[in-house]
Chain A
Amino acid sequence: DIQMTQSPSSVSASVGDRVTITCRASHDVSSWLAWYQQKPGKAPKLLIYSASRLQIGVPSRFSGSGSGTDFTLTISSLQPEDFATYYCQVADRFRWTFGQGTKVEIK
C-alpha cells in the first residue's frame, strides 16, 4: 500500500506570508494528488486536483505543483480565512490515501 508523508505537521505564519506544505508518496503516483482545506467542525474542501489544477471557486493564491512522488501546496499570501488544516490525498489506482495533515496557525 502507498504511504504518504506530509510536512510540516504544523506551521505558524502571519497574514501575508507565503506558506508551503509538502507531501511525499512512497512510490510514483504521476499527478494523482489532491489538496484539501479543513476548518474546525467542517467537512474538507477540495482546493487542488491532479496535482496542480485549481478547483472552481478556489482563490488563485492557492497553487499546487509536483509529480511522481513529491508535491507542494503553496499559499502565496496567507489570508485570515486560510488558517485551517490542510491534507494531501493520493489516488493510487483505487486505493485513496490521505496525508497526516498540516495545521496552519496564526503566528
Chain B
Amino acid sequence: QVQLQESGPGLMKPSETLSLTCSVSGASISPYYWGWIRQPPGKGLEWIGFIYYTGSTTYNPSLDSRVTISVDTSKNQFSLKVNSVTSADMAVYYCARAYANRGSFDVWGQGTMVTVSS
C-alpha cells in the first residue's frame, strides 16, 4: 500500500530555513498531487501547499512568500522549504497525497514535529 514518510530536523533556530522531505513508497509520484499540512501543538490543521508531479505548485496565500515545494520524481520524493522560521512555525508537519478529483487527502505520513527555539 501507499506509504509516506517525512524526514528532516526536529529542532531549528529562529530565522533558519526549514527543510523537510517526504518519501513515497508503494506508488509512483506521478500522476498525483502531493501536499504539506501542518498542525501547531494543540491546534487545528493548516494547509501549506501542493505540488503536481510536473512541478506545478500552489501555496496557501498566508505562507506564499516563505514557502517552496519541490519534487524529485527520480527519488519518488517531494520536499518543503520554509524560510525565516519563527516560533509560529513550530508544528507537526504532515505530507499527504492529494486526490484532486475528490478534493481530499487520502494518504498521510505519520508527521514530524518541528520545534523552533533559540
Tell me, rounded to whole Å, the shortest Cβ–Cβ distance linking A100 to chain B. Answer: 5
Q: What does the 1/0 interface line of A68-94 toward B look like (CB < 8 Å)? A: 000000000000000000010111001
**How distant is the Cα of A3 from the Cα of B96 in the complex, in angstroms?**
22
- In the complex the two chains form, is A49's CB within 8 Å of B45's CB? no
**How distant is the Cα of A23 from the Cα of B46 in the complex, in angstroms?**
16
Given A87-B45, A98-B44, A98-B45, A50-B105 contact (CB < 8 Å): no
Given A44-B45, A98-B44, A34-B108 contact (CB < 8 Å): no
- In the complex the two chains form, is A98's CB within 8 Å of B46's CB? yes
**How distant is the Cα of A33 from the Cα of B103 in the complex, in angstroms?**
7
- In the complex the two chains form, is A46's CB within 8 Å of B105's CB? yes
- In the complex the two chains form, is B47's CB within 8 Å of A34's CB? no
**How distant is the Cα of A107 from the Cα of B44 in the complex, in angstroms?**
23
- In the complex the two chains form, is B104's CB within 8 Å of A43's CB? no
Tell me, rounded to whole Å, the shortest Cβ–Cβ distance linking A36 to chain B. Answer: 8
Say whether A53 faces chain B, with CB atoms less than 8 Å apart. Answer: yes
- In the complex the two chains form, is A49's CB within 8 Å of B104's CB? yes
Within 8 Å CB of A14, what residues of B?
A: none
User: Which secondary structure dominates chain B's binding surface?
Assistant: strand
Within 8 Å CB of B37, what residues of A?
A: 98
Contact residue among B58, B94, B102, B110 (Cβ-Cβ distance under 8 Å from A49): B102
Task: Give chain A's interface residues, CB within 8 Å of chain B.
Answer: 1, 32-34, 36, 38, 42-46, 49-50, 53, 55, 87, 89-91, 94-101
Pull 28 A–B residue pairs with CB atoms less than 8 Å apart, ordered by A: A32-B103, A33-B103, A34-B104, A36-B105, A43-B96, A43-B108, A43-B110, A43-B111, A44-B45, A45-B108, A46-B106, A49-B102, A49-B103, A49-B104, A50-B103, A53-B102, A89-B47, A89-B103, A89-B104, A89-B105, A90-B103, A94-B58, A96-B50, A98-B44, A98-B46, A98-B47, A99-B44, A101-B45
User: Given A94-B50, A96-B35, A96-B103, 13 more contacts at CB 8 Å?
Assistant: A1-B61, A34-B104, A38-B45, A44-B105, A46-B105, A49-B104, A53-B102, A89-B45, A89-B103, A95-B47, A95-B60, A97-B47, A98-B45
